[in-house]
Amino acid sequence: MKILRLNELDINDDGHFLKDLLPGKYLCSGSLSYKPPGLRTHSHDGPDGKDYHVHDDCEAFVILQGRAVMQIDGAEYPLRTGDVVIIEPGEDHHLIADADDPCVNLWLHAGQHRPDEQK
């Protein structure tokens, strides 16, 4: 796991804006997401309904508005507008929106192909 601020990112004219943190030539999946107050993502959606959510690749979260807590392997990390979190492969992770100031965030994955390219 890595946490940094948007203003700490290097200026990049070649590739996606997280290329030094999120392996892969292109951003290939993701979305803008609003979290209702207190929502915890991916609760009990692991194998056999277990409370476990992991990926084989890295995932980035960018907090665009509000506050949240990121649970990573059971530890909690407070987040606010402008934070960028990189989840490493195999890390169990859940984003919890603040009850008073819920977050709007991007979640992103990168890969070797553009989403519209044939593999």
Tell me the pLDDT tens digit for each residue of 17-29.
999 999 999 999 9
25, 115 Cβ separation under 8 angstroms: no
**2-111 fold:** Jelly Rolls (2.60.120)
Share of the chain above pLDDT 70, in %: 98
Mean pLDDT, range 37-41, rounded to an integer: 96
The residues that bridge with 71 in the sheet, in sequence order, are: 76, 94
What's the rounded Cα separation, in Å, for the pair 90 and 36?
Answer: 26
What's the rounded Cα separation, in Å, for the pair 113 and 51?
Answer: 31
Mean pLDDT, range 71-77, rounded to an integer: 97
Residues 6 or more apart in contact with residue 56 via CB below 8 angstroms: 89, 90
Q: Is 34 helix (H, G, I), strand (E, B) or coil?
A: strand
pLDDT beyond 60 at 119 = no
pTM value is 0.92
pLDDT beyond 60 at 107 = yes
